Chains A and B, each alone.
Chain A
Amino acid sequence: MAFVQLPEWAALAPALILAGTALVLFLLDSINPYSTNRTLLAGTAVVGSLSSLAVAVWFTAAGVGATGIENYGVIEIMGDQFVVDQLALYFMSIIAVVTALVTVASHDYLRDHTYQAEYYSLVILAATGMSMMAAANSLVTIFIALELTSLPSYALVAILKDNRGSVEAGLKYFLIGALSSAIFVYGVSLVYGATGSLQLDAVASGLGNAGEMGGLLGLGILMLIGGIAFKTASVPFHFWAPEAYEGAPAPISAFLSSASKAAGFVLAFRVFTTAFPLEATTDVIGVEWTWAFVILAIVTMTVGNFAAATQENVKRMLAYSSIGHAGYVLIGLAGLSTGAADFVMGAAMMHLLVYGFMNTGAFLFVALAEYWGVGRTFEDYNGLAKQAPVACAAMAVFMFSLAGIPLFGGFWSKYLLYTATIEAAADNAVLLVVAASLVVNSALSLFYYSRLVKALWIEDPVIDRDRLAQPTGLYAAVIVAAVMTVLILPAFDPIANAALEAAAAVIA
């Protein structure tokens, strides 16, 4: 760094700050175990995640991770177990932003909850895990970060102990999570068996030694894909998502569907670009692993969108639509076999960032509706705009952005993804099919997103409600997310270029 020579591990600061925040929260809890001072607790969590964000953005701006600048560049620490590069910092920023929004919103959502400190420390711990996933550079650290994310998440989904839905969702999430962790770690062991290493670069260079164990390696890779599919809620490991998102407290649904998904994707991006370079891997296992992602992308987006279109419950609709969006992002991996690899992956990263705002915002609006005691179906949402116009305007922004109407960020990141896919299709014609399903699914999604806007704004309320309260924290989070969804447009150029550069650096 510029003025003082900091130790190298300081490069992990965005993750370390989160870890420190979690410890502070534990400390606060041990001083006063039954504290209901939610402003202090939520405030600590927000300050922690915002500092993490600030550091990540500062590092990016200062050129940490950028190649070709003296004294900076990619920082590898702890025996290359972690790597801080542009990719890691980019995703650390997304995760920190979502965490900040979620913790601000939780302030009001959890007003009557008994376990305040536990809640916030679990959220921050999960965020720490996600942040470490972004930097993890070895299958071991990846697995540890993955579990550090997953274990608090299970608890968080089930944290409404008196609510059967929440507990059941937590149980389902836990069972499927444990299963996919097992599959993932078995995949890791197979990869280790075939290549003799766990560190990602070493795995890549060990590919040549795999020799006759190509089949084993292929199976290992398939199992790693399974673990990632779980974390990103992609088909075929998506079944938990609607259940968990529906049962969980809405801020946690926002957290899992945005931040946790982003973390899952950075993992996929790093593992598959660093550890399994396409050509070398193809020589050993005989097929290009991108095919798996081509199929996953098409199936995931189609399943997600069609299922979302048939939902009556708003939270489930959002859950399925978030599966659909995972399908869009998977294109970033599907296109890696082509000359436009960095472009597709950068576009997918860009979409994840925009998604971090619009999807978090949408779930936080649901949190607001739950706070008000509005029901869960589309009909229950009828006419809310009469009572809460500003929040409903923000929700309309999220819906139109998710659907891809040009005024908002969602259209632009989808458009970027679309052009990237078309460019990639020059090398691999099957990507034309992927691009076509992106367009068709996107058009279909307009149907169910606009249905919610219609319910909020156009339909008359079924029941008369009392005046709706305006909880500060939730409102602030929803509105900030909406403003960011719109502001991404003017700031699109620097953000998109940061994503594209990060992708190019990893792929090169």
Chain B
Amino acid sequence: MMIEILIAVTLVGALVTFVAPNRIAGKLAFAISLVPAALSLWLFAAFDGSGNALLDGELAFESRVPWIELGDYTISWFVGLDGISLPLVVLTTILCTLAIVSSWTPIDERESQFYGLILFIEANLIGVFTALDFFLWFVFWEAVLIPMYLLIGIWGGPRRKYAAIKFFVYTNVASLVMFGAFIALVFGLGDVTSFALPEITTAMLEGGPDGLFGLSGTAFASAVFVAMFLGFAVKVPVVPFHTWLPDAHVEAPTPASVLLAGVLLKMGTYALLRFNFTMFPEQVEAYAIPIAAIAVISVIYGAMLALAQTDLKRIVAYSSVSSMGYVILGLVAYTQFGVGGATFQMVSHGLISGLMFMAVGVIYNATHTRMVTDMSGLADRMPIAVGVLVAGAFGYMGLPLMSGFAAEYFIFFGAFGSDLLEYSPLFTGLAMFGIVIVAGYLLFAMQRTVFGPYRLETDYDVGRAPVHDVASMVVLLGLIIVLGVAPDLIFDMITDAVDPILQGGDL
């Protein structure tokens, strides 16, 4: 019942906030969001599950109720948590609370609607990470789109309409491709009579689909694999499907950017892990090299693009493309450290990119510019906020004892020793080169904006950042350091859930 309560509280909270007066909406949403945050931490503390939810693992907080029974097929309300989804749920609830706090300063119109939509996104994100029935999952997956479309479209920057529509069209088309492929797969799996992901996974590992549409079983499975990969790749996003991301990020208001980078991108990699990399071990093996190539290109190309930007927010936005490239590389390595590290990186990147976007937002609120070229010596005026920004940037670069280091170390370690991926040392080496570029553009941006004599080419008087903004950044930084010092806090539960995937092919 706990997961239902978690989702219901957030949903009802969203409705309440939506109709509340603007004046109190921000504080009210914050108060409401503390409930799911506390509940998810309780789930974390009480977590008692082992194995992978899709692979006969022990499921925590499971509930399964038949929902729609039509013809031979059953759709159920089926939710549960395992070591992969739980950290992401906690990430979602914490990041949403902090995103709400970070909206207090910049959002000054239609507040109740804004905070209502944020809570609505939160509820659906929790749904995405807990649902174990394809249809239920798809409902949550698509429901995330609508509020994000509105958040960008209403509260965004000057080119918000373009960015919102591009975001909506790209991700919705990708979802349709994936949906069609997956439904075809279920029909192809003759003896499966439900859309429950564990059952579909089992059926896939025990022989896969019979042929359909004149394709042989293997060819059909490959086609589905590719279509689903494309569908999720847009969400991640990987090069060359990344073009919606900088537009959406740059135009989105700060809190929406925080959620977009922090959690929404993880929906893509989470889905890749749950669907492509868990259900299709044979195809992963067959397509390992192209996937790894895509991952490495995303890392390098994303970093190069970031290097070329002068808009602080754009720099952070493009850096997400490379960070997500690492996740894909870790997944395709198909080792305990690779896949586990990829999951760890999802959480870590959620925290770090959330922090970076908040910091950029704070700087923008104070200076009304995001251009690196317009700023210099901000450290004089807002020392604490800038200090946190610099610390976050170091986390991004992979400074030891911060979560970014642990994540990247796991991924590289896992990828280097991969048996599945041929030439894995080569791919790993190339991807590691990405770190150099990341360090390059971050140091470059820091040096220009933060250090040196104070100079600002706008008319605004820059003062210290508001306490609540700094506080939420400090909380994030604290989490980044905690996970960096003690990755075992979540890495153990992640590996519990990851190990069964790696044996999946032999079962």
If A343-B71, A389-B110 touch, whether A458 touches B139 (CB-CB below 8 Å) is: no
- Which one of B19, B142, B160 contacts A458 once the chains associate, using CB atoms below 8 Å? B160
Q: Which one of A201-209, A399-407, A463-471 is at the interface?
A: A399-407
Q: Would you call B154 an interface residue if the criterion is a C-beta within 8 Å of the partner chain's C-beta atoms?
A: yes
Interface residues of A in 228-255 (CB under 8 A from B): none
Chain B 58-77 interface 0/1 with A at a Cβ cutoff of 8 Å (1 = within): 00000000111111000000
User: Is the pair A492, B68 in contact by a Cβ cutoff of 8 Å?
Assistant: yes
Residues from chain B with a CB closer than 8 A to the CB of A389 are 18, 110, 112-113
Residues from chain A with a CB closer than 8 A to the CB of B67 are 490, 492-493
User: Is the pair B139, A443 in contact by a Cβ cutoff of 8 Å?
Assistant: no
Q: Which residue of chain A lies nearest to B168 when distances are taken between CB atoms in the complex?
A: A450
User: Is the pair A457, B153 in contact by a Cβ cutoff of 8 Å?
Assistant: yes
Residues from chain B with a CB closer than 8 A to the CB of A496 are 68, 70
Chain B 135-179 interface 0/1 with A at a Cβ cutoff of 8 Å (1 = within): 100110111011000100110000011001100100010001000
Rounded to whole angstroms, the CA-CA distance of A419 and B135 in the bound complex is 14
Residues from chain B with a CB closer than 8 A to the CB of A140 are none
User: Is the pair B110, A443 in contact by a Cβ cutoff of 8 Å?
Assistant: no
User: Is the pair A454, B161 in contact by a Cβ cutoff of 8 Å?
Assistant: yes
Q: Would you call A446 an interface residue if the criterion is a C-beta within 8 Å of the partner chain's C-beta atoms?
A: yes
Interface residues of A in 479-496 (CB under 8 A from B): 489-490, 492-493, 496
Rounded to whole angstroms, the CA-CA distance of A280 and B150 in the bound complex is 55
Q: Would you call A18 an interface residue if the criterion is a C-beta within 8 Å of the partner chain's C-beta atoms?
A: no
User: Is the pair B71, A406 in contact by a Cβ cutoff of 8 Å?
Assistant: no
Interface residues of A in 439-462 (CB under 8 A from B): 443, 446, 450, 454, 457-459
If A446-B172, A492-B67 touch, whether A458 touches B161 (CB-CB below 8 Å) is: yes
Q: Which residue of chain A lies nearest to B152 when distances are taken between CB atoms in the complex?
A: A458
User: Is the pair B18, A454 in contact by a Cβ cutoff of 8 Å?
Assistant: no
User: Is the pair A416, B146 in contact by a Cβ cutoff of 8 Å?
Assistant: no
Looking at chain A's contact residues, is the secondary structure mostly helix, strand, loop, or mixed? Answer: helix
- The smallest C-beta distance from A406 to any residue of chain B, in angstroms, reads 4
Rounded to whole angstroms, the CA-CA distance of A494 and B142 in the bound complex is 24
- The smallest C-beta distance from B136 to any residue of chain A, in angstroms, reads 10
Q: Would you call A161 an interface residue if the criterion is a C-beta within 8 Å of the partner chain's C-beta atoms?
A: no
User: Is the pair B69, A458 in contact by a Cβ cutoff of 8 Å?
Assistant: no
User: Is the pair A416, B110 in contact by a Cβ cutoff of 8 Å?
Assistant: no
- The smallest C-beta distance from B8 to any residue of chain A, in angstroms, reads 12
User: Is the pair B143, A458 in contact by a Cβ cutoff of 8 Å?
Assistant: no
User: Is the pair A458, B154 in contact by a Cβ cutoff of 8 Å?
Assistant: yes
Residues from chain A with a CB closer than 8 A to the CB of B187 are 422
User: Is the pair B150, A386 in contact by a Cβ cutoff of 8 Å?
Assistant: no
Residues from chain A with a CB closer than 8 A to the CB of B18 are 389-390, 393
- The smallest C-beta distance from A354 to any residue of chain B, in angstroms, reads 13
- The smallest C-beta distance from A396 to any residue of chain B, in angstroms, reads 8
Interface residues of A in 380-394 (CB under 8 A from B): 385-386, 389-390, 393
Residues from chain B with a CB closer than 8 A to the CB of A490 are 67
If A458-B160, A493-B67 touch, whether A405 touches B146 (CB-CB below 8 Å) is: yes
Residues from chain A with a CB closer than 8 A to the CB of B164 are 458
Q: Would you call A108 an interface residue if the criterion is a C-beta within 8 Å of the partner chain's C-beta atoms?
A: no
Q: Would you call A118 an interface residue if the criterion is a C-beta within 8 Å of the partner chain's C-beta atoms?
A: no
Residues from chain B with a CB closer than 8 A to the CB of A419 are 70-71
Residues from chain B with a CB closer than 8 A to the CB of A489 are 139
Residues from chain A with a CB closer than 8 A to the CB of B150 are 457-458
- The smallest C-beta distance from B125 to any residue of chain A, in angstroms, reads 14
Residues from chain A with a CB closer than 8 A to the CB of B69 are 493, 497
Q: Would you call A423 an interface residue if the criterion is a C-beta within 8 Å of the partner chain's C-beta atoms?
A: yes
Residues from chain A with a CB closer than 8 A to the CB of B141 are 406
Residues from chain B with a CB closer than 8 A to the CB of A497 are 69-70
Q: Which residue of chain B lies nearest to A450 when distances are taken between CB atoms in the complex?
A: B168
Residues from chain B with a CB closer than 8 A to the CB of A406 are 135, 138-139, 141-143
- Which one of A390, A400, A422, A459 contacts B19 once the chains associate, using CB atoms below 8 Å? A390
Q: Which residue of chain A lies nearest to B142 when distances are taken between CB atoms in the complex?
A: A406
Residues from chain A with a CB closer than 8 A to the CB of B68 are 412, 492-493, 496
Rounded to whole angstroms, the CA-CA distance of A343 and B70 in the bound complex is 9
- The smallest C-beta distance from A453 to any residue of chain B, in angstroms, reads 8
Q: Which residue of chain A lies nearest to B143 when distances are taken between CB atoms in the complex?
A: A407
Q: Which residue of chain B lies nearest to A451 when distances are taken between CB atoms in the complex?
A: B165
Rounded to whole angstroms, the CA-CA distance of A497 and B69 in the bound complex is 8
Q: Which residue of chain A lies nearest to B109 when distances are taken between CB atoms in the complex?
A: A386
Residues from chain A with a CB closer than 8 A to the CB of B145 are 405
User: Is the pair A407, B139 in contact by a Cβ cutoff of 8 Å?
Assistant: yes
Residues from chain B with a CB closer than 8 A to the CB of A416 are 70
Residues from chain B with a CB closer than 8 A to the CB of A443 are 176
Residues from chain A with a CB closer than 8 A to the CB of B142 are 405-407
If A389-B110, A400-B146, A496-B70 touch, whether A457 touches B154 (CB-CB below 8 Å) is: yes
Rounded to whole angstroms, the CA-CA distance of A493 and B135 in the bound complex is 14
Chain A 403-415 interface 0/1 with B at a Cβ cutoff of 8 Å (1 = within): 0011100001000
Q: Which residue of chain A lies nearest to B66 when distances are taken between CB atoms in the complex?
A: A493
Residues from chain B with a CB closer than 8 A to the CB of A446 are 172
Rounded to whole angstroms, the CA-CA distance of A459 and B168 in the bound complex is 16
User: Is the pair A458, B70 in contact by a Cβ cutoff of 8 Å?
Assistant: no
Rounded to whole angstroms, the CA-CA distance of A385 and B112 in the bound complex is 12
Rounded to whole angstroms, the CA-CA distance of A490 and B141 in the bound complex is 17
9 pairs of A and B residues whose beta carbons are closest in the complex: A458-B153, A407-B143, A406-B142, A406-B139, A493-B68, A492-B68, A406-B138, A458-B154, A389-B113
- Show 17 residue pairs from A and B whose CB-CB distance is below 8 angstroms, ordered by the A residue: A389-B110, A405-B142, A405-B146, A406-B135, A407-B142, A412-B68, A419-B70, A422-B187, A443-B176, A454-B165, A458-B150, A458-B161, A489-B139, A493-B67, A496-B68, A497-B69, A497-B70
Taking A386-B110, A412-B68 as known contacts, 17 extra A-B pairs with beta carbons closer than 8 A to each other, sorted by chain A number, are: A385-B113, A390-B18, A405-B142, A405-B146, A406-B139, A406-B142, A406-B143, A407-B146, A416-B70, A446-B172, A454-B165, A458-B150, A458-B164, A493-B67, A493-B69, A497-B69, A500-B70
